[in-house]
Structure 1
Amino acid sequence: MLVESYFPVLLFILIGILVGVVPMPLGRALGPHKPDAATAVAASICSPSSWAVMAFPSMLAIGLAYEWQRGALTWE
């Protein structure tokens, strides 16, 4: 009975894992086999989105530390 109530959650997790994992080997199998490494590295370094991906979690961490220091996260 307990497992039956969690079946939709487990199904959702399984589908999420499949959506995240299946495209990787599929892309490797169907994609080009000799990519130019220098172009890929240069594009990732110069791309503004790569910097945003690195900066966003650090901004969240700084905001969390600030709110924690001010006592906004304490429960009364």
Structure 2
Amino acid sequence: MANQYQSSKLCEALYTKCEDQMDQLQVLRLPSMAKFNACFLQCNQSYGKECVRPSKTIYEQRMVKVGINKLSSFRS
């Protein structure tokens, strides 16, 4: 049970950090698809390295959903 809690806490912190970074990109005058892609790639890499089981799968799915939702604000 402690492992589940620690995993969830770590993954949630990474998720929140990535979501905040994507939110900051949205407020730019001219949102850039390249910047969004770089931010999203960085978030996925940090998840791959730092977010651990058992919560990893759940937060990976949440990250994909937030990425898709925020993608509509960016232009190439």
> TM-score normalised by the shorter chain: which range applies?
0.3 to 0.5
- Higher Rg: 1
TM-score (norm 1): 0.33
TM-score (norm 2): 0.33
Higher relative contact order (CA 8 A, sep 6+): 2
